[in-house]
Structure 1
Amino acid sequence: MTADRQERETLKARLTARFRPFLAGDLEWAILSPPLLPNSLQAHLARLPETRALIDRVRNDPSPLLDTLLTMKRQNLGTYFEHLIFFWLENMPGVQVRGKNLQVREDKQTLGEMDVLFDYDGACWHWELAVKFYLNAGDRMDPWQWVGPMKRDTLGRKLDRLFSHQLTLPETPAGQACLSRLGIKEVTSSPMVKGMLFSAARQDSAYEPGTTPLPPSLSPQCLQSCWMTLHQFQADSSLPFTHFRILKKPRWISPIRDFDDLVRGDQTVASAALAHCFQGHAAPHLILLARQDADHFTEIRRLFVTPNDWP
């Protein structure tokens, strides 16, 4: 066996162990979960019976999707999400992918890249892909007050870059030249952004589902939950869970599975585990709460728990 082949087999074995049990669920979430930003074409493609058939095939045999994951250059959540979407589009009848992560350059300078270009139903489409999780730290209607767990990103910054730069790249001279080299005269650009928003838990009530006002540019059907400090989590009596799991990327998007490595414990046990996490990395942690009924686990909620002085 050559060194390159051996390296590829080693990588495939590592990816298989890491992703295989979750691949069908992750693919289903990437395609069918509510978008953060409206995208009518995405909804149309997701409703096609061929989409459900593809997810079912991956559930029976995830090997083709694993082969796609072998092409990932980075092992992060954003790249993982992109490759799930690439795999979906590449395996949909009537869809022809024309390019992925196409760099747009001008005078040896990279202006940006177009995430995916594909032909469908007589038109060429340009999608910008992203998966985002934001916690609200102030005015809920202000996109700049929705911040990423590491506080390096905000919803406002993402929307600004998305609509003023990424989605307009095909309209620039350099973008037009890039499209021309592929024989493409015109594209329709739109966002394909998934994720979840987390509102601050009220002091007198842990969570009020469906009552959070959102910036007008967001889809009202997007996934929502809450975040709370460790003190709030310890004091909350509305979370009747029997098991939990502190999630790490890319498990943030995975639906619960009965074979998940859930930890049995109440708020005391979960709080101690979270406090231990904060000792090594004082950033919010996403925790999944579940209840066991006989041999079946039901997800109650997933929420961010933060250090007491966050943000």
Structure 2
Amino acid sequence: MNYASDPIWWRLRKTIVRDLASLLTAPSPWLSSTELPVSTLLGDEGFRFLLSLDEEPNNLYLFLKQHGAYHTHLGVYAERLLYYWFLHAPHSRLIAHNLPVQDNQRTLGAFDFIVQLNNQIFHLELTCKYYGGLPEKTESFIGLNKADRLIDKMYKIEQQLALSTKPAAKSALKNLSLEPNQLQHASIIRGMLFKQPASQNLQVPLNPLCWQGQYIENWSEFEFQEHYRFHVLDHLSLISPVRVSSNAIVNFNQIKQIQQGMIALVQQHADGYWHEVERIMKTTKHS
């Protein structure tokens, strides 16, 4: 699935609002029985709220500035954006964020979010990951950091969602006037999967309908056309399809020097900006 072609990207212009929208609406890279439905996360008025944020984003910019320390870590940036959403979305009431669970002064973990959405109270865990591999081998999918493995993250999310079942969690929840059995547990899994162009479709438990890109170990594998233009993505520009100005565009001779990284293939639209149409994960050959 090419999530970059979703009509939502024709309406939203500000990068931080586009990133927030992607966290709310993007399909999960792998299938999970605990994934929170997009309709529950977005809410009935959510798209209108995103449009209003795109028109007046100053409060969101200020919030990110006040809750800093995200510039070096994509996961923290994503968490801050959802933190803002749960504080301000019309159907949401944030109960706790990053709530630690301790047992005899030993930290067992932390709840990413405890939030009421409409009339339901959720314990939510967020992850935002980018993996490339062979569609028929779930265990082959890894990140640019080869120690970052999809199967490990799948297991980690399950562990995080089970935190409220630990006896020590009862005390933390009691301080919020909650009992463990009041919580529903759900994941918010975002990111992309990358596969080689000629490979077969993704296999379960990977999500065949997730946002997908090209996985390339050698630039000779890439079917280049003369009119192609590109934008090199930094670590904080991965969450949503990019929309950039002409001075951020490079040609193929420039990007083929990249040994490892993320690159967006872009086309110019009527608004004068260059919009992502496909994404490439370039890595060195895995041993």
Task: Say whether the 8 Å CA contact 1:134–1:198 is kept in structure 2.
Answer: yes
1:304 matched to 2:281: yes
TM-score w.r.t. the length of structure 2 is: 0.84
1:104 matched to 2:89: no
- The residue identity in structure 1 corresponding to 2:46 is T
Task: Say whether the 8 Å CA contact 1:289–1:300 is kept in structure 2.
Answer: yes
Report the CA distance shift for 1:42/1:67 in structure 2 as closer, same or farther (over 3 A).
farther
- Structure with more helix by fraction: 1
- The residue identity in structure 2 corresponding to 1:154 is R
How many Å apart are 1:74 and its aligned residue? 3.7
Report the CA distance shift for 1:258/1:71 in structure 2 as closer, same or farther (over 3 A).
closer
Indicate the residue corresponding to 2:189 in structure 1: 193
Indicate the residue corresponding to 1:4 in structure 2: none
Q: Distance in 2 between matches of 1:131 and 1:251?
A: 12
1:169-248 to structure 2, matched below 5 A, reads 169-185=163-179, 186-199=182-195, 201=196, 206-207=197-198, 211-216=200-205, 218-233=206-221, 236-239=222-225, 241-248=227-234
- The residue identity in structure 2 corresponding to 1:304 is M
Q: Distance in 2 between matches of 1:141 and 1:104?
A: 38
- The residue identity in structure 2 corresponding to 1:214 is Q
Indicate the residue corresponding to 1:95 in structure 2: 92
Task: Say whether the 8 Å CA contact 2:35–2:188 is kept in structure 1.
Answer: no
Report the CA distance shift for 1:152/1:241 in structure 2 as closer, same or farther (over 3 A).
farther
CA offset digits 1:68-102 (Å, max 9, x no partner):
21213442100111111111121122321110011
1:26 matched to 2:19: yes
Show structure 2 runs of 5+ residues with no match.
Answer: 1-12
Show structure 1 runs of 5+ residues with no match.
Answer: 1-19, 279-283
Q: Distance in 1 between matches of 2:19 and 2:211?
A: 15
Q: Percent sequence identity over matched residues? A: 24
Q: Distance in 1 between matches of 2:186 and 2:225?
A: 38
How many Å apart are 1:40 and its aligned residue? 6.0
Q: Distance in 1 between matches of 2:275 and 2:16?
A: 19
Structure whose CA Rg is larger? 1
Task: Say whether the 8 Å CA contact 1:81–1:131 is kept in structure 2.
Answer: yes
How many Å apart are 1:219 and its aligned residue? 3.3
Task: Say whether the 8 Å CA contact 1:242–1:264 is kept in structure 2.
Answer: no
Report the CA distance shift for 1:169/1:239 in structure 2 as closer, same or farther (over 3 A).
farther
How many Å apart are 1:106 and its aligned residue? 0.2
Secondary structure (helix, strand or coil) at the match of 2:256 reads helix
CA offset digits 1:10-38 (Å, max 9, x no partner):
xxxxxxxxxx9411211111111112245
Report the CA distance shift for 1:256/1:121 in structure 2 as closer, same or farther (over 3 A).
closer
Indicate the residue corresponding to 1:14 in structure 2: none
- The residue identity in structure 1 corresponding to 2:18 is G
- The residue identity in structure 2 corresponding to 1:271 is K
1:280-299 to structure 2, matched below 5 A, reads 284-292=260-268, 295=272, 297-299=274-276
Task: Say whether the 8 Å CA contact 2:35–2:187 is kept in structure 1.
Answer: no
